[in-house]
Amino acid sequence: MNGWGSLGRGDAWGSGAADGSRPPGPETMRGVCFCLLYDLCCWLAGAHRVVSDEVDEYTMTELRRVEDPRDRLRRYVSPKLLQTWEGALRPFFSSGFLLDPELGEAGSFQDHGRDAGGHPKAELTFGNRSSVVDSSQRRHDLPPRDWILTVWLSPKPGRYVENATIRLA
């Protein structure tokens, strides 16, 4: 093991076989993208709470009870990727900002199956309409922009999110 688990349930990734020979289905990938973006937003928002039952798109059932979104992420995201994001987000957190997440209505999801390296890949486009709140509780609107979250799973058994990027749509 790499120090982080594979995902919640044994079949958390859906229909993919344990040896990773078959790509996970689109619904599974959709769930992964949702969970990743959800947990990322919770992390940025400083929201330390369990994932409510009402959020039924959150497919990582066994992680629902974990309150710290970073702990949830650690369970299915490569430590290397998390480390990279932590470094990238240092200016945000060190300034005492918190995200007040609001994602726009222009969204789409696309499952790309496997890339040439055998990594199951999917993309989620979302509109960011969030604002951030500074340490003085002042709200600053972020420029409304559409982003593409691309997610690659490890092709190896016990799949995890090996890489993810965010780029302008």
Residue 107 touching another protein (CB under 8 A): yes
Pairing of strands 98-100, 131-133: antiparallel
Using CB under 8 A as the binding rule, the residues of this chain from 19 to 38 that contact another protein are: 20-21, 23, 26-27, 30, 33-34, 37-38
Binding mask 56-95 for another protein (x = CB under 8 A): -x--------------------x-xx--xx-xxx-xx--x
Q: Which is nearer to another protein, 41 or 60 (CB)?
A: 41
Asked whether position 169 contacts another protein by CB under 8 A, the answer is no
Of 9-17, 60-68, 105-113, the segment contacting another protein by CB under 8 A is 105-113
DSSP string, 61-75: GGGTT---HHHHHHH
Q: Are 93 and 99 in contact (CB under 8 A)?
A: no
Q: At what angle do helices 26-45 and 69-76 cross, to 10 degrees?
A: 150
Interatomic CA distance for residues 154 and 14, integer angstroms: 14
Nearer to another protein, 4 or 84 (CB): 84
Shortest reach from residue 60's CB to another protein, in Å: 14
Q: Can you read off the two tokens belonging to residue 148?
A: 């593409």
Does residue 3 touch another protein according to CB under 8 A?
no
Cβ 75 to another protein, closest distance in Å?
A: 19
DSSP 8-class letter at 52: P
| Least distance in angstroms from the C-beta of 41 to another protein | 5
Query: Site for another protein (CB under 8 A): which residue of 14, 70, 147, 158?
Result: 147
| Angle, CA of 48, 50 and 54, to the nearest 5° | 125
Question: Quick one: 9 or 49, whose CB is closer to another protein?
Answer: 49
Q: Alpha-carbon distance 31 to 57, whole Å?
A: 6
